Amino acid sequence: MPYVIASPCIDVLDRSCVEECPVDCIYEGGRKAYINPKECIDCGACEPVCPVEAISQDRRVSESDEAFVEDNRRFFVDILDGRGEPLGAPGGAHKVGSLGVDTPLVAGH
């Protein structure tokens, strides 16, 4: 997983990263955004535009936010509340729009 979005994004959802992403791999949940690890090309364009510094490479996530590395992946592979199947890699966030649901880690934060 090249880049992940951690706790500073919760309840902020600035969306600057979404606008900057050249491959449309940043998906919007209910309280935070998530980067699809199968669609991300590891370009890093999203990281410097995040006003709350929530985005980093998975190997550079702060110790206090390490759980968000796995949580970011789970957003795409787990069946979340209100969904009948995992999101997977639909080929772009604009195709699905805001999903309005988060992983249990973010929902309980």
The domain that holds 28 is classified in CATH as: 3.30.70.20
30 located within any domain: yes
Give me the domain span that covers residue 53.
3-99
Among residues 3, 7, 37, the alpha carbon closest in space to that of 109 is found at 7
109 located within any domain: no
Mean predicted lDDT score pLDDT of the chain: 94
89 located within any domain: yes
Which two three-digit tokens encode residue 25?
Answer: 């791999």
Condensed to tens digits (0 to 9), the pLDDT of residues 43-99 reads 999 999 999 999 999 999 999 999 999 999 999 999 998 889 999 999 999 999 999
19 sits in which H/E element = helix 16-20
- Domain total in the chain: 1
* pLDDT at position 1: 55
8 located within any domain: yes
104 located within any domain: no
54 located within any domain: yes
* pLDDT at position 2: 81
DSSP states along 59-109: GG--GGGTHHHHHHHHHHHS--TT-SS-----S-HHHH-------HHHHT-
